[in-house]
Amino acid sequence: MRWNIVLILVCVLQVAAIGVSAQEKVSLNLKDVSAEQVFREIKRQTKYDFVYNEEQCRDLGKMSVNVKDEPVGKVLDKLLLDRGFSWDLLEGGIILIKVQSKSSDKRQEFKITGKVTDQSGEVLPGVAILIKGTTIGVATDANGEFSLVLPKDSVVLVFSFIGMETQYVAIPKFKVGEYHQELKITMQEEKVALEDVVVTGIFTRKKESFTGSASTYTAAELKTMGSQNILQSLKTLDPAFAILEDNQFGSDPNRLPNMEIRGKSSVLGLRDELDADPNQPLFILDGFESSLAVINDLDINRIESITILKDAASTAIYGSKAANGVVVVETVKPKSGELQVSYNGNLNLSMPDLTSYNLMNAREKLEFEKLAGGYSPANWSAEKEIELNELYNKKLEAIESGVNTYWLAEPLRTGVNQKHSLYVQGGEGRFLFGLGVGYNGISGVMKESLREIISGNIDLIYRMEKFQFSNKFSINVTDIENPVVPFQSYAEANPYFKKRNKDGIVEKWLEKNDYFEASNPLWNDNLNSRNEGKNVSLSNYFVAEYFPTTEWRVRARLGITYGNNDTEVFYSPEDTRFEDTEALKKGEYTSTNTRLNQAEGELSVTWAKVLGVHRINLVAGGNFNASKSLVQGYSAQGFPDGDFTYPSFSNGYPEHGIPTFYESVSRSLNGYFNVGYSFDDRYLMDFSLRSSGSSVFGSSKKYNTTWSVGLGWNLHKEKFIMNNFNWINLLKLRASIGNPGNQNYDSAQTLLTYVFQYGSMNYFGLGAILNQVGNPDLKWQTTLDKNFGIDITLLNRRLNITVDYFHKVTDPLLIRIGMPLSSGTPTYMTNAGEQTSQGVTATASYYIIQNFDKRFSWMVRANLRTQKTRIDKIGDKLSLLNASGKGANTVRYYDGADPDDIWAVKSVGIDPANGKELFYDENGNYTYDFSYDDEVICGNTRPKIEGVVGTSLNWKGLSLSLNFRYQLGADVFNEALFNKVENISTEGLNKNQDKRALYERWQKAGDIVRFKNIANAASTPMSSRFVQEENVLTLESVYLGYEFYDGWIQKLGLSNLKLQVSMRDVFRASSIKSERGISYPFARSLEAGLSFNF
């Protein structure tokens, strides 16, 4: 270790090491080498660190030495004394001292005395004090006091101490007759760059000595990707973190995203009543487990940093919950000093993106209906032909009069969103505080869409000599409104109908006769129906820390979380869905309440020590987690007309309907141990062991042990690289292996359960039937996770490259298999099969211009992800799940296949002679007969490669960032082709369809087209005709900001001022045409922000 220059100089002006012992022996044979190389070799053979001024060290020139088994002190005397240097020994460190000339001129002495303390007022012994530009200095004594004679009366003193920021104090020229000044110095804690450390939520390590795969992002980095949602920003920054696009609900602000880190570890379709996703990563907020909903709503201005832990070495400390990766969020802690007020405000415009819609206009739609046989009666009669001709001519007349209604614009708007946050912090010495309030009003692009979040937080820190106590309390209140009429209803409305009649009144039906029936979506939208909710979440995190020595830390943590979510959905009895319902059952009301109570506690001990070339970090501890979730609700039906929307006005429960109630209780108890070891900062090792007990799995399998081992090699610290390749700043190899697990499952999945038959009570009372067969032997799902990585930094940190290869095997999987009817239950939870995922993630950045002194830099960057998955040993255990998917989706689970594969029957195409589809059977022969037995793999939905390419420019206070996302080689089953070009039944003629249904379907013999006979209204099965390869390029984020440093802002009473503008999802170019955002459209956003401190 090299301490700060002359930290060191304890009694620097006093001469050499007389009587000091340095008796360890060394053997050296070096010729014409620098003094630094000699010191490095002595350090390698002994326990001694060397402390010296690099400029002085260069004055020593080249050295040659050849000794065998000679004491270190004797060697140093030979090398140094003749060169005007001496040495001293202090606590295992050898200090190099420049011997001052004895012939110094006599002059007047100027003396400085003083005392040095930390932020809490505690004295700091051993602080090195150096006169800048000289070797003259002293160190503070046990009381933090010092006395220093100055060579002249106007100097700059440099105060340095391990763990503290170096301070420069200018001593003004002494007044006439003044020869003494007294100082009081308060040193600030050193701020280690966040990108140089890894925060796991349990311990913090220097990234250089950590063997795991982890990425840390600061709040500033997140904000350059947009400040509305931190998860979307992470998606752009890190290739391993993926948010799966929801084509159904688009940009709906009230839908939580689906995400994954390095793919999935579990079979899809295992969500429980609480909607727990078994492939969701673990979220840690300030050291405590949190939920996706909390992180999704978290104000980005409260973020200090986010760390993504990806491999076993980094996640294994969380053991059986970490197989999907871990997202560690650290919020801002209050800082000492004068009262500070920070404000951040953003105005966001959210604009609907309808570029993917390819609907017919009025004339096209009527022509399609005619060609599809909509006006040719099945059972011909003159009367029917006359009626249909009248309907056709009426619509044609409307079209000729200019009717071509654009329904898509009706439910949409440009959402105007506001976001404000205010944080007040301060405190001196022992007590620090921070108070924050925030408002985030998100107006979605659909008119009845709203998410309004009001938040508050209180952060307290109290510090004593060896203790520190901190408490974080936060509250979020979220109001939710959802559209009652889905966007799809407007997309289906035919354009030859007017929205309102000639009197401006919205009518219930656009068309209703014996042949066609189409409701007016505006009618349902204008009723007093509603879909709304309210969520309240509270959390309190308390941490107590004890520091008996500088090496030891004992920490106790206790966290309590409470959540309450209420939703109400009401459909008016006038809604068109009740048109054919009897009067006493018209109208529907549903109320659902979800509550969560969670308690988590932890006790841990940390020991860190540097012993010569050995650096050791030990962490041992245990924690518990207990959570209880409750879902209850009821439905009511039969409401009178008018503003009678509450359940007390209803006619009662639906037939055989009863209130619902579901309770889930899970508990876990864990003990863990982690050791990190570094030899000479070159060879690294991390080992973790965690034993866990959980109520989620079988009663005979309550406990499980997870482990991980990580190895690293800092090649850039090897002599041959340091001496020959000074352009290599970092070259690090990493490897890890471990078996993290997954507990994102229903706690009742292993229990034998029955349900009462409320609808069939008889003379003997209430009966019960089997609901679920228990499995007391259900094993824990663990994943053997291997990772190999390399970190490279070159050319004075201009070029940075990180590459990781991962290989994960989950064995056994938790799956739900089908049961015979005689068992009384349809499915059974068991262990079977294995899933293997492997892939590569890489990031690279290069500074084209790098001049930080002039605050001018230009960087280009890129990242990528590629991955493949395979399932084996599953046999026919998921045959029920596979069978239920036929005709409904393209996902199957078979041995040797990828769960992302698209399964469909291979299509030859459309026969030009008759407009029918030809298929390949299992033997490769042509056939008109469709059979699911002929299903094969027709593609894979995961892109072959995906990533982001971007650039950042910084010039003084100006910042500019652009980021493009690319996706190459993904196959998609085009739902628009399947549902809006084909599969258009007679009833489907009431709805608007894709233009390709008119222009690209077979109409006459000889037509070479992709789609079958336009007059064929029969259902079309899933075949490879609807599978297309998609390549996508998206301008994902644009950022422009300016931070004012000039003194004029101080005249306004501000310490800093920043303006910024950003955009997300600016454009999207795709190689195929498919509808995106079926029930809720996607959106583009434009945001302007202002932040300042005073």
Inform me whether the pLDDT recorded for 888 exceeds 70: yes
Least reliable range by pLDDT among 84-98, 610-624, 916-930, 1066-1080:
84-98
Tally of helices (H runs) and strands (E runs) in the chain = 16, 57
Token pair recorded at residue 533: 């909710």
Q: What is the pLDDT of residues 452-478, one digit of tens each?
A: 999 999 999 998 878 999 999 999 999
CA distances from 16 to 64, 96, 700 (A): 22, 9, 70
Q: Give pLDDT, residue 936.
A: 96
Task: Answer whether 690's CB lies under 8 Å from 316's CB.
Answer: yes
pTM, 2 dp: 0.81
Q: Give pLDDT, residue 1.
A: 37
Q: Percentage helix, strand, coil, to 5, in the chain?
A: 15, 50, 35
User: Concatenated DSSP letters for 298-332?
Assistant: --GGGEEEEEEE-SHHHHGGGGGG-TT-EEEEEE-
How far is 32 from 1093, CA to CA, in rounded Å?
56
Q: What is the pLDDT of residues 537-549, one digit of tens each?
A: 999 999 999 988 8
Q: What is the pLDDT of residues 216-239, one digit of tens each?
A: 998 888 988 887 789 999 999 999
Helices (H), 981-1086: 996-999, 1048-1051
What burial class does residue 474 get, using C-beta atoms within 10 Å of its C-beta: 0-12 exposed, 13-18 middle, 19+ buried?
buried
Q: What is the pLDDT of residues 400-433, one digit of tens each?
A: 999 999 999 999 999 999 999 999 999 877 899 9
Q: Give pLDDT, residue 881.
A: 83
Identify the band that residue 27 occupies on the pLDDT scale cut at 50, 70 and 90. Answer: confident
Inform me whether the pLDDT recorded for 651 exceeds 90: yes
Q: Give pLDDT, residue 1083.
A: 96
CA angle 297/277/567 to nearest 5° reads 55
Q: Give pLDDT, residue 269.
A: 52
How far is 150 from 127, CA to CA, in rounded Å?
18
Q: What is the pLDDT of residues 816-837, one digit of tens each?
A: 887 777 777 777 888 899 999 9
Inform me whether the pLDDT recorded for 993 exceeds 80: yes
Inform me whether the pLDDT recorded for 969 exceeds 50: yes
* 25-186 and 194-333 in the same fold: no
User: Concatenated DSSP letters for 872-903?
Assistant: ES-TTTTHHHHHHHTTT-S----TTB-TTEEE
Q: Give pLDDT, residue 110.
A: 73
Q: At what angle do helices 362-371 and 382-400 cross, to 10 degrees?
A: 160
Per CATH, is 25-186 categorized as 2.60.40.1120? yes
Q: Which residues contact 790 (CB under 8 A, 6 or more apart)?
A: 731, 732, 733, 734, 801, 802, 803
Q: Which amino acid is at 943?
A: P
Token pair recorded at residue 636: 């009511």
Task: Answer whether 979's CB lies under 8 Å from 950's CB.
Answer: no
Burial letters 92-105, b for 16+ CB under 10 A, else e = ebbbbbbeeeeeee
Inform me whether the pLDDT recorded for 22 exceeds 70: no
Task: Answer whether 9's CB lies under 8 Å from 137's CB.
Answer: yes
Q: Give pLDDT, residue 994.
A: 97
Q: Give pLDDT, residue 3.
A: 37
Residue percentage of the chain with pLDDT more than 90: 58
Token pair recorded at residue 372: 């599809």
CATH of range 194-333; options 2.40.10.10, 1.10.10.10, 2.170.130.10, 3.40.605.10 = 2.170.130.10
For 302, phi then psi, to 5°, come to: -90, -5
Inform me whether the pLDDT recorded for 933 exceeds 50: yes
Q: Which residue has the tokens 């973790």?
A: 688
- What are 164's strand-pairing partners? 189
Residue 400 CA to its chain's centroid (Å): 54
Q: What is the domain partition of the chain in residue ranges? A: 25-186, 194-333
How far is 457 from 479, CA to CA, in rounded Å?
18
Identify the band that residue 451 occupies on the pLDDT scale cut at 50, 70 and 90. Answer: very high
